[in-house]
Amino acid sequence: MKKIISIILTLCLAFSFAGCRDTKTENEKLTIIASVFPAYDFAREIVGDLGEVSLLLPPGAESHSFEPTPKDIIAIQNCDLFIYTGGESDSWIEDILSSMENPPAVFRMVDAVEVIHSVHEHEEVSLSSHVEFDEHVWTSPVNAMEIVNALSVTITTLDSENSRAYRKNTSEYLGQLEELHESFIEVTEKAENKTIIMGDRFPFRYLAHEYNLEYMAAFPGCSADSEPGAKTVSQLIEKIKTDNIPVVFHIEFSNKKTAEALSEATGAEIRLLHSCHNVTDKQLKENVSYIDLMKQNLANLKEALN
Ligand SMILES: [Zn+2]
């Protein structure tokens, strides 16, 4: 049976997915696929048991170098709603969607918020005519609320039968996000040190912007660089020493090399600032949530900003 299914699916793929898309029929659960962890978690909170939400990224996988398998593409083709970031790192999705004859409904997180534009330092002005923006919109709890609000409208439209339950779940979840936002305000407002020192790349511009924090990072945005320049390292060390900054951060799935070097040179403690792109297999099984990860971030920030 499995073999037959796989042959059918292969044929499906070969014929540009023509006619192979399921549409939601009555009493069938809404199927949602999300490209990154925050989108997955937000959708899960909105639909509860009334939908099947899955995460496209395999647990622990690096989201920027992700390439979908044919099986992933078929799953995207057949789902009711596909949620993605809408930034540079998942631009492959738009190529795939445009090749589908009958694509699923889509939701782009960047469309729900005001994006922060970024110009890469090494870029010549003349080359930066194409608009670039930071895609890590979910790192601010305020943006998370906006995304959840807009996503809830999309989901409710797709499955109006369950709209009451979706609205109820959404308002409960928004309450939790609001609480999270208030805790961030409390910690950041009274902080003496307002600078985050990141011995890694920095996908937290929205977080920093929301709470008026400064930052200095070893690498810009989500660059694939792994070895910071000597000048950057010495500037980071100087900043930590002059301002007596107690914590240097690294992000998840990092080799922590730069954070360790900075810690060694200054005595600053090493802590994690989780960008929530993806989680480990263990965390996924333990049902870790965006709010869990952000609360841990807040506790670590509290140490750093004091
Ligand atoms: Zn990223």
Q: What is the pLDDT of residues 20-59, one digit of tens each?
A: 444 555 568 999 999 999 999 999 999 999 999 999 999 9
Comparing CA positions, the residue from 4, 143, 303, 262 lying closest to residue 151 is: 143
Kindly state whether residues 176 and 227 are assigned to the same domain. Answer: no
**31 has which bridge partners?**
52
- Could you tell me the CATH number of the domain that includes residue 260? 3.40.50.1980
Kindly state whether residues 178 and 202 are assigned to the same domain. Answer: no
Distance 224 CA to ligand 1 centre (A): 10
Residue 78 clears pLDDT 60, i.e. is over it:
yes
Residue 84, pLDDT score: 97
Distance 160 CA to ligand 1 centre (A): 33
Distance 14 CA to ligand 1 centre (A): 32
Distance 222 CA to ligand 1 centre (A): 5
Distance 63 CA to ligand 1 centre (A): 7
Span 139-181, pLDDT tens digits: 999 999 999 999 999 999 999 999 999 999 999 999 999 999 9
Distance 65 CA to ligand 1 centre (A): 10
Residue 65, pLDDT score: 84
Kindly state whether residues 204 and 173 are assigned to the same domain. Answer: no
Distance 202 CA to ligand 1 centre (A): 9
Rounded mean pLDDT of 108-135? 71
Residue 132, pLDDT score: 83
Kindly state whether residues 178 and 298 are assigned to the same domain. Answer: no
Q: Residue holding tokens 């992700």? A: 66
Kindly state whether residues 129 and 197 are assigned to the same domain. Answer: no
Distance 23 CA to ligand 1 centre (A): 32
36 contacts: CB under 8 Å, gap ≥ 6: 55, 56, 57, 63, 84, 85, 90, 138, 276, 277, 278
Distance 300 CA to ligand 1 centre (A): 20
Distance 277 CA to ligand 1 centre (A): 7
Based on the structure, what is the number of domains in the chain? 2
Distance of alpha carbon 64 from alpha carbon 66, whole angstroms: 6
Comparing CA positions, the residue from 288, 282, 253, 287 lying closest to residue 66 is: 253
Q: How far is CA 112 from CA 3, 85, 165, in A?
A: 41, 10, 22
Residue 130, pLDDT score: 53
Distance 150 CA to ligand 1 centre (A): 22
Kindly state whether residues 145 and 165 are assigned to the same domain. Answer: yes
Last residue of a domain, one of 183, 213, 241: 183
Distance 82 CA to ligand 1 centre (A): 19
**What does pTM read for this prediction?**
0.89
Bigger pLDDT: 178 or 7?
178
Bigger pLDDT: 237 or 223?
237
**Is residue 183 very low, low, confident or very high in pLDDT (cuts 50, 70, 90)?**
very high
Residue 21, pLDDT score: 46
Q: Domain limits at 162?
A: 2-183
Kindly state whether residues 173 and 232 are assigned to the same domain. Answer: no
Kindly state whether residues 119 and 252 are assigned to the same domain. Answer: no
Rounded mean pLDDT of 109-137? 72
Distance 169 CA to ligand 1 centre (A): 28
Distance 102 CA to ligand 1 centre (A): 29
Residue 27, pLDDT score: 64
Distance 163 CA to ligand 1 centre (A): 32
Distance 227 CA to ligand 1 centre (A): 18
Radius of gyration of the chain (CA): 21
Distance 201 CA to ligand 1 centre (A): 9
- Percent of the residues in the chain that have a pLDDT greater than 90, as a whole number: 76
Kindly state whether residues 162 and 136 are assigned to the same domain. Answer: yes
Kindly state whether residues 179 and 216 are assigned to the same domain. Answer: no
The side-by-side arrangement of strands in the sheet containing 269-272 is: 214-219, 195-201, 247-250, 269-272
Residue 299 clears pLDDT 70, i.e. is over it:
yes
Last residue of a domain, one of 137, 159, 183: 183
Distance 87 CA to ligand 1 centre (A): 9
Residue 22, pLDDT score: 47
Last residue of a domain, one of 183, 203, 229: 183
Kindly state whether residues 11 and 85 are assigned to the same domain. Answer: yes
Kindly state whether residues 197 and 149 are assigned to the same domain. Answer: no
